[in-house]
């Protein structure tokens, strides 16, 4: 028989578990919006602090910061989205006309008239057509789901507002719930901060910069549909193993096949020298400056996150794995032997 005191303890834990599960189910449809808001809080909190020093009022400082973020995000979208959709449609029509067999023959003459060439050309054509078609379909779906998109945007900005204004209070509340000793808690907090900084700055921000830099080269050398290719370069630059070269090398090949030799050589030199230096210098600086994260963790986290959370999972996935391994490492080193004791 269980005594009354033990029964009450078990009941509390069961009730708490049920409430946690119900809360997760309740918030799951909005999880990407909530996490997006928290990521924006992390990125723009230094801006909020600088505004707060001038304005001296938390609510006004948070509102000004949100207005700046909205201008940075939505103003370019307002002007670029129609052009982007047109270019996606143009690429879809262009891909239908490409003779990939002829293109591969030009690049690899030794493959001419082989069965492998036909299979490879068919696979490439199907893959690119499907990719462009899905992108166009997703863009159209976004317009059809405009009410849901607007509602999720409201959630993002609510999380952003209260995250900026009450960030320190939330941090103190989480600390008060932490079961870790003060020493372990401080160590974990520092490492979590370094990991978050490395992932967001080293892979996301640097990837965006590299993609934009590649896009500038595409515009300079007059590559068709440069805007959509710039977006593709940004995405591939963020993902390890890939990079902006996935975009600018095919673009240089296109210029070469189109007999635009000067532009082809110029883009090749620009991509090899100007764009690639970011991977060799800037990214390692941010990633390894404070902490070293395994390349495998980043790659697996991004792929898994992409499959589970969509495009936002590129950020969420590596962070989840890194945080989990960090806590496990604390147990492995027996730094939590005083988990409930100082």
Q: How many CB atoms lie within 10 A of CB 17?
A: 10
CA atoms 239, 242, 243, 247: torsion sign: negative
pLDDT in tens, 227-240: 888 888 888 888 76
**CA gap 161, 65 in Å, rounded:** 9
Give the chain's residues under pLDDT 50.
336, 338-342
Instruction: Write out the two tokens for 23.
Output: 């809360």
pLDDT in tens, 289-309: 555 667 677 778 878 887 887
């Amino acid at each position: 028989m269980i005594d009354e005191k033990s029964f009450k303890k078990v009941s509390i834990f069961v009730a708490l578990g049920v409430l946690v599960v119900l809360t997760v189910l309740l918030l799951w449809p909005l999880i990407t919006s909530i996490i997006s808001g928290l990521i924006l809080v992390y990125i723009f909190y230094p801006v909020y602090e600088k505004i707060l020093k001038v304005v001296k009022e938390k609510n006004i400082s948070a509102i000004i910061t949100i207005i700046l973020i909205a201008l940075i995000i939505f103003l370019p979208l307002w002007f670029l989205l129609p052009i982007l959709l047109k270019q996606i449609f143009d690429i879809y029509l262009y891909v239908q006309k490409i003779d990939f067999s002829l293109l591969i023959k030009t690049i690899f003459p030794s493959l001419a008239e082989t069965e492998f060439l036909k299979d490879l050309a068919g696979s490439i054509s199907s893959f690119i057509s499907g990719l462009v078609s899905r992108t166009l379909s997703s863009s159209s779906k976004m317009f059809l789901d405009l009410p849901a998109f607007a509602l999720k945007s409201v959630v993002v900005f609510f999380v952003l507002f209260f995250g900026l204004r009450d960030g320190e209070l939330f941090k103190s509340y989480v600390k008060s719930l932490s079961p870790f000793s003060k020493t372990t808690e401080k160590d974990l907090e520092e490492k979590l901060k370094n990991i978050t900084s490395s992932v967001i700055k080293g892979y996301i921000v640097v990837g965006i910069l590299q993609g934009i830099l590649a896009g500038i080269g595409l515009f300079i050398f007059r590559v068709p549909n440069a805007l959509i290719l710039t977006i593709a370069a940004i995405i591939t630059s963020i993902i390890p193993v890939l990079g902006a070269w996935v975009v600018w090398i095919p673009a240089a090949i296109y210029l070469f096949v189109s007999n635009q030799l000067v532009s082809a050589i110029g883009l090749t030199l620009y991509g090899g020298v100007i764009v690639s230096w970011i991977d060799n210098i800037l990214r390692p600086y941010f990633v390894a400056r404070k902490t070293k994260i395994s390349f495998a963790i980043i790659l697996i986290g991004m792929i898994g996150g992409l499959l589970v959370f969509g495009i936002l999972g590129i950020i969420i996935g590596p962070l989840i794995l890194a945080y989990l391994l960090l806590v496990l490492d604390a147990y492995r080193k027996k730094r939590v032997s005083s988990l409930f004791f100082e």
